[in-house]
């Protein structure tokens, strides 16, 4: 009953792939590096207001540590491109080189963003876990009451709520790779934790009596 519908599974993958393509087009063709960096800094500063200076510093430190592992390979490549571009005497090729350097810096910033948001999600997961557990427990208790009431559980409603899990996974993937969010990026993790708790609560509430 809880097995994925192949059609739904395929649609999820198509949606994730489409958002990945859109994110890359947006990153390399629509947003400036300074604008992107400013939006990410706004997200970090807004998160600091929500979670406090110490927690924010811990998240930034963890993100920088993981990013540093990636940057060990990326930064020398970027520096080599920069040196080659500076030695170029042709204006057209130099302009192309500038665009390549900006694209390389955007990739590095995107990787840092993903590292930062992973650590931010980890923080909110641990912070919101008691609330999620409480909502799940409430769903279990409501189901135990409905076990003795005719017609109060619904397989169709349970399937509907279970589809929200796949939707949430898509949104999480989009959140990690989409190169712009600003203040919304700071509010997304606690919001998604609340949604996850509500989804599991309602799934359990409508779980079939045959279980």
The domain locations on the chain are 8-205
Ramachandran quadrant class, 122 (left: phi over 0; alpha: psi -120 to 50; beta: rest) = alpha
Which residue has tokens 């409480």? 134
pLDDT in tens, 8-67: 556 667 777 777 787 778 777 778 888 888 889 999 999 999 999 999 999 999 999 999
pTM above 0.85, yes or no: no
CA 82 – CA 93 distance, rounded (Å): 12
pLDDT in tens, 94-150: 566 677 788 888 888 999 999 999 999 999 999 999 998 998 888 888 877 777 665
pLDDT at residue 11, rounded to an integer: 66
E strand or H helix at 4, and its extent? none
Q: What distances in angstroms separate CA 44 from CA 38, 64, 190, one per listed residue?
A: 10, 13, 14
For 175, the 3-state DSSP assignment is helix
CA 128 – CA 194 distance, rounded (Å): 8
């Amino acid at each position: 009953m809880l097995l994925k519908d192949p059609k739904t599974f395929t649609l999820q993958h198509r949606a994730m792939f489409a958002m990945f393509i859109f994110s890359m087009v947006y990153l390399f063709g629509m947003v400036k590096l300074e604008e992107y960096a400013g939006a990410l800094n706004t997200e970090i500063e807004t998160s600091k207001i929500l979670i406090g200076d110490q927690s924010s510093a811990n998240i930034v430190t963890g993100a920088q540590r993981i990013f540093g592992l990636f940057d060990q390979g990326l930064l020398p490549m970027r520096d080599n491109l920069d040196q080659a571009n500076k030695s170029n005497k042709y204006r057209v090729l130099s302009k192309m080189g500038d665009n390549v350097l900006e694209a390389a810096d955007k990739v590095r910033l995107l990787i840092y963003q993903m590292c930062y948001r992973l650590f931010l999600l980890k923080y909110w997961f641990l912070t919101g876990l008691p609330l999620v557990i409480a909502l799940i427990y409430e769903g279990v208790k409501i189901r135990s009451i409905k076990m003795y009431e005719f017609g109060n559980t619904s397989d169709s409603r349970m399937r509907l709520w279970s589809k929200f899990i796949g939707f949430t996974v898509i949104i999480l993937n989009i959140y990690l790779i989409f190169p712009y969010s600003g203040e919304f990026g700071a509010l997304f993790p606690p919001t998604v934790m609340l949604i996850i708790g509500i989804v599991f609560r309602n799934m359990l509430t409508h779980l079939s009596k045959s279980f």
